[in-house]
Structures are given as structure tokens and as C-alpha cells.
């Protein structure tokens, strides 16, 4: 996939039925796609197996149009609005019954769309992921729900948002970053505070996205600091003139070379081990 699956969503009313809370730690193995994104297995009503992308960059769960047709899902009469990488639109909504993945067991309404990632049936969003703390262990290739000890390096989430947004610094300036386990690349937006990302800019390229294309330019984040930890020479895709977004950049978690990353929704903090 050139960039990422469907991103974050807004103005969506979701229905949840019988979410079962996690009683103890549970581990689920995953496969990496595009070298940096975790895909786990789950089932729906009737025992049909689905491949689910773990995506902290989306507020709500999305099912691929082909999978929805195959499962003969019930569509609701209304559509839902979404915003993704500065683009906005509306999408059909369908009921997914008896979705089971790890300790999560629920029926939920999902957006229906074209997921541009081969072999991915569902983008598993924060509407379900945030029901319990979880850790992605990239070294051992497993997602651990309700894990025990967490890594010591940590930063807080911003308050008043469902999404995982943190403060970071690039070249000494503070930016707001969306933490996205489903992103194939780091992204930066517009011509505002992002102009100081570096002078090594690549040519403008068109990346296919949601039936259209994004005009992007490769830039270099020479020094990115999160908490007390620094990363150097991270490549990012700068998107020109998007519609307004609420943050400055998207952080592709799988591109950071981490051993583990821990999402603590109870205390709203992000921890990691390198």
C-alpha cells in the first residue's frame, strides 16, 4: 500500500453491543504487512475468519467493501462522515455481528470502504482498541492485550480527543503528532510549522489515495524528539495544501524501529522500548 489504509474518522455515531472486558493478559500473534504494520486474525458471526489491521490512527473500525459483501452484512440506511488526510466524504455503514479478536467480543457498526491493503479485511480502530490497554511487541510479533509491566520511556496523550495525539519536537520546535500504527509512512501537513522539517526535499509525487491522489514531497526530519528520546534522519511525506487537520504530522509507529510500544488508555500515556 502506497501510504496507509483509511485514516481517522470524525462525526460518526457508533453502536456497541456486549463488549466483553479483558480479564487477564492475552497475546495474539501478528503478521507484518509493508514491513511495519501489524495484522491479526479475528472472526465474525458464523466463524468466518478475517484479517484485521491494528490502526490507532482511526477513530472507528472499517470493513472492506468486498468483505462486507462476502459476509452479506446488514447495511444501515444512513451514511457517516469521515475525514482522512485532509480529505472528507461520506461512507456506508454496516453492522458487524459477533466480532471476536483476542479478548474483544462485540457487535459493532462499521464504516464500509475500499481498504487499499492487500489481504486486509478490517481496519481495527480505537473504538475497539481503546477498550483495554495493549502493547505491540514488534520483536516477538505479538499484540498483548492488558499487558503487565510497561516500558519506562513514556509521554502523555493530549486530553479531550479520542485519538492518540502527543507533543514532539522537530529541530527544537514543538509539533502535535497523531500516533498511527496503521500508517506506512510519516506524514506532515501544509506549509505552516512544518516548513522547518529540513531542506532536503524530494520531487513532488502523486500517491493514489481513496480514489484520488495526494500530492506529496519527501522531506527529512533530521532530529525528532519524543519525551527524552531522539530519532535522526527520518523521512516523511509532506502533503501540500490539505484541508485543515487538527495536528501537524502523523507518526508511523512501525517505522521507528521499536521493540515494543504500549498504549495505556487508562492513564492516557504512550510508552516504548527501542
* Interval 131-144: pLDDT, tens: 999 999 999 999 99
Separation in Å, CA 27 to CA 19, 40, 99, 136:
18, 11, 17, 10
User: pLDDT per residue over 243-268, tens digit each?
Assistant: 567 788 899 999 999 999 999 999 99
Q: What percentage of the chain carries pLDDT values higher than 90?
A: 50
Span 222-250, mean pLDDT? 83
**Where residue 153 falls among pLDDT bands split at 50, 70, 90?**
confident
Give one word for 257, left, alpha or beta, with left for phi > 0 and alpha for psi -120 to 50. left
For the ranges 24-38, 64-78, 190-204, 246-260, the lowest mean pLDDT is seen at: 190-204
Distance (Å, rounded) from C-alpha 151 to C-alpha 121? Answer: 31
Separation in Å, CA 138 to CA 31, 130, 134, 180, 227:
10, 19, 13, 15, 21
Separation in Å, CA 134 to CA 51, 126, 142, 144, 259:
18, 11, 10, 5, 14
Mean pLDDT across the chain, nearest whole number? 82
**Where residue 159 falls among pLDDT bands split at 50, 70, 90?**
confident
- Report the CATH superfamily, name and number, of domain 153-273: Acid Proteases (2.40.70.10)
Query: Helix or strand or coil: residue 12?
Result: coil
Separation in Å, CA 261 to CA 55, 63, 186, 224, 252:
13, 25, 17, 17, 12
Matching fold, domains 16-145 and 153-273: yes
Q: Is 238 a residue whose pLDDT tops 50?
A: yes
Q: Could you tell me the three cell numbers for 134?
A: 495493549
Helices (H) and strands (E) in the chain, counts: 2, 22
Q: What is the pLDDT of residue 12?
A: 41
Is the whole-model pTM more than 0.75? yes
Q: Compute, in degrees rounded to 10, the torsion defined by CA atoms 241, 246, 247, 252.
A: -90
CA 186 to chain centre: 12
Q: Could you tell me the three cell numbers for 168?
A: 514532539
The domain 16-145: what is its CATH number? 2.40.70.10
Span 23-39, mean pLDDT? 86
Per the DSSP assignment, residues forming a β-bridge with 81 are 90
Comparing CA positions, the residue from 55, 54, 50, 79 lying closest to residue 7 is 55
Per the DSSP assignment, residues forming a β-bridge with 207 are 214
Distance (Å, rounded) from C-alpha 16 to C-alpha 97? Answer: 10
Q: What percentage of the chain carries pLDDT values higher than 70?
A: 78
Q: Is 105 a residue whose pLDDT tops 60?
A: yes
Q: Is 90 a residue whose pLDDT tops 70?
A: yes
Q: What is the pLDDT of residue 201?
A: 57
CA 175 to chain centre: 18
Q: What is the pLDDT of residue 202?
A: 61
Q: What is the pLDDT of residue 23?
A: 46
**Per-domain boundaries in the chain:** 16-145, 153-273
Q: Is 125 a residue whose pLDDT tops 50?
A: yes
Tell me the H-state helices in the chain. 65-71, 126-129
Amino acid at each position: 500500500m502506497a501510504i496507509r489504509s483509511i485514516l481517522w474518522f470524525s462525526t460518526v455515531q457508533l453502536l456497541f453491543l456486549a463488549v466483553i472486558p479483558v480479564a487477564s493478559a492475552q497475546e495474539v500473534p501478528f503478521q507484518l504487512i509493508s514491513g511495519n504494520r501489524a495484522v491479526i486474525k479475528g472472526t465474525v458471526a458464523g466463524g468466518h475468519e478475517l484479517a484485521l489491521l491494528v490502526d490507532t490512527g482511526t477513530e472507528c473500525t472499517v470493513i472492506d467493501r468486498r468483505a462486507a459483501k462476502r459476509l452479506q452484512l446488514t447495511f444501515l440506511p444512513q451514511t457517516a462522515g469521515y475525514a482522512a488526510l485532509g480529505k472528507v466524504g461520506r461512507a456506508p455503514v454496516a453492522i458487524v455481528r459477533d466480532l471476536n479478536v483476542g479478548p474483544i467480543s462485540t457487535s459493532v457498526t462499521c464504516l464500509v470502504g475500499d481498504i487499499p491493503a492487500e489481504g486486509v479485511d478490517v481496519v481495527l480502530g480505537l473504538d475497539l482498541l481503546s477498550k483495554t490497554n495493549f502493547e505491540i511487541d514488534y520483536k516477538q510479533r505479538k499484540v498483548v492485550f492488558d499487558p503487565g509491566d510497561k516500558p519506562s520511556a513514556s509521554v502523555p496523550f493530549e486530553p479531550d480527543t479520542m485519538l492518540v495525539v502527543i507533543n514532539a519536537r522537530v529541530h527544537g520546535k514543538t509539533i502535535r503528532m497523531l500516533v498511527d500504527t496503521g500508517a506506512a509512512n510519516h506524514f506532515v501537513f501544509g506549509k505552516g510549522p512544518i516548513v522547518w522539517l529540513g531542506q532536503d526535499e524530494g520531487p513532488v509525487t502523486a500517491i493514489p489515495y481513496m480514489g484520488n491522489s495526494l500530492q506529496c514531497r519527501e522531506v527529512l526530519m533530521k532530529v525528532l524528539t519524543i519525551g527524552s528520546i531522539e530519532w535522526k534522519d527520518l523521512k516523511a511525506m509532506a502533503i501540500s495544501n490539505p484541508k485543515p487537520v487538527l495536528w501537524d504530522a502523523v507518526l508511523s509507529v512501525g517505522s521507528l524501529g521499536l521493540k515494543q510500544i504500549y498504549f495505556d488508555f487508562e492513564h492516557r500515556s504512550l510508552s516504548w522500548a527501542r
